[in-house]
Structure 1
């Protein structure tokens, strides 16, 4: 079976994470890179052993040397690149977030029209723990009724693109709240419209970029989610609670697991989550193991390669649904607070 030939558009930190993940997946090979800064693309290629460097992403996407692309560019340019890729019959893996629900719809429509696969690059979706938690939820804690998340990363570098409101207009909302919205999609699985949404954001005084915020989403059936996010808490927080009717599932690393997340390397840690019920003391809480041997980015790349085998598969439909629901919820929050 031939390998999926991948080209990367972008040469930043997250592109490097994917390049490292590809090396651990037998069904994919990384063969090309293009970046808005050719010097960066050449350095990236040398670092990761990539044979071909293109001067522009247009040339790479139009070429016959790749079958699929990973788009790791600023949000403002993703739609144009992804649609051009689809029109050139390239499967699409696109980093989050998207400019809007409409923009994401346009990308998915282009993928369908050209019979190529689409998936957004949300890593924790592919962590085996996510499937384990969902499989055990009904039996262990009952049907979910609320999700609480808190995602902070200590990052106040004003020279970073996250603080450029032209390229990343939603700032920490798109960068961080995407994961809170994906947690809603993954674990709460709403099937009815949002009834109310509220919250607030804090902007950086120098750049006007969004650096912190919080919010509440309530659905028409009473299910709800509360969330906090940002760059300025001075520490990393990745807390998640899924509230059932008979208990709670909790974890402190829902975005990047402590064992293999690209920001961490703690091989002694056993990936999993905690179950709390009744009036238990902390020592009585049950830790449910859901350990895995590889980084979640590796599982994501393997799943993406599998996805490209059939662009009309139920797995493709599910990937599109998760992306659209996540962006839809994100847009509703942004409209309420911007």
Structure 2
């Protein structure tokens, strides 16, 4: 019988539900424990999935020896402290994107993972999609790349509540939220994975009264190309994302799904290069994470420490330019 990896989950939200649905397709996955701040919510969530271990004290969960790994889907401001606690208890950690609030938290998390010799991986799903690999393998077909453009603008269902006077998590600065880190990161992470770090960054954004960004635009300069990304939680866009080369352009219908990828060549011909992906597309990040544990490898070669560090470095610079400071930025990690 194949070895099972016993998972605990932090967070009883829609993202966690999607994670469990996808992870359940992985042979080595076993859901063993639920952590929730409220017992009632935790028990209700556990009942849905037939889980007997429910905790409202994270330390108690981590010392109970019922889990090997933890999936963290709590608010962004809690990621670092919770992940470091898990890592210090020798538990492998798969942490939702963004990995943390800022670069100093990311560095502290990486340090804890290395010190405890356990896996830490950011759950940036798109870079692990089969179609992202297809993009990498076919990028040469469009010749010298001159422009990367990505748009992810999705009107948030929580924005109506915000306009009515209720500030939910998605627009709460105390929780290190906002459009950039919620969906803007989906436009930036693939760019860094494909082309590395930019030479220059110029960012602008519209800040809401709650203090977070509702939408933004960032222009990046590379030695031989430019990149532009647009993101929003207060309006919709139906534009595809695109990589423009001298011999053609590669179009991606949805940067966070990548289920359609097409090359439009300069001579007028069109090539569909996408392959079929699992509809529960979080399966790829879960399988990557589980494989690392089973193979006793401490770091993903795709969603690597350096990759997460680079992405967060860019997010920090964008926030600096648009004037978005989180309470977490003022926290001393040495005293966390």
Q: TM-score range by the shorter chain?
A: 0.7 to 0.9
CA contact under 8 A between 2:189 and 2:311: conserved in structure 1? Answer: yes
Q: Deviations over 1:156-207 (max 9, x none)?
A: 1424201111112x511111111112111222234xxx432112111224x3
How many residue pairs get aligned? The number is 314
Task: Output aligned runs, 1:179-258, within 5 Å.
Answer: 179-190=186-197, 194-205=198-209, 207-219=210-222, 221-233=223-235, 235=236, 237=238, 239-257=240-258
Answer yes or no: is 1:305 the counterpart of 2:290. Answer: yes
CA contact under 8 A between 1:307 and 1:316: conserved in structure 2? Answer: no
Answer yes or no: is 1:272 the counterpart of 2:257. Answer: no
Which residue is equivalent to 2:168?
Answer: 160
Which residue is equivalent to 2:182?
Answer: 175
Counterpart pick for 2:274 among 289, 308, 326? 289
Which residue is equivalent to 1:330?
Answer: 315
Which residue is equivalent to 1:58?
Answer: 59
Unaligned runs of 5+ in 1: 258-270
Which residue is equivalent to 1:114?
Answer: 116
CA contact under 8 A between 1:119 and 1:316: conserved in structure 2? Answer: no
Superposed displacement of residue 317, structure 1: 7.6
User: Scaled by the length of structure 1, what TM-score is found?
Assistant: 0.87
Q: Secondary structure at the match of 1:16?
A: helix
Distance 1:182 1:209 in 2: 20
CA contact under 8 A between 1:117 and 1:316: conserved in structure 2? Answer: no
CA contact under 8 A between 2:118 and 2:298: conserved in structure 1? Answer: no
Superposed displacement of residue 57, structure 1: 1.7
Q: Deviations over 1:301-325 (max 9, x none)?
A: 1111001134546635852222112
Superposed displacement of residue 15, structure 1: 1.0
CA contact under 8 A between 2:117 and 2:298: conserved in structure 1? Answer: no
User: Scaled by the length of structure 2, what TM-score is found?
Assistant: 0.87
Unaligned runs of 5+ in 2: 324-336
**Which is further off, 113-122 or 293-302?**
293-302
Counterpart pick for 1:126 among 128, 134, 145? 128
RMSD, aligned CA: 2.0
CA contact under 8 A between 1:177 and 1:330: conserved in structure 2? Answer: no
Task: Output aligned runs, 1:86-97, within 5 Å.
Answer: 86-97=87-98
Q: Secondary structure at the match of 2:243?
A: strand
Q: 1:195 to 1:299 in 2, by over 3 A?
A: closer
**Which is further off, 181-190 or 111-120?**
181-190
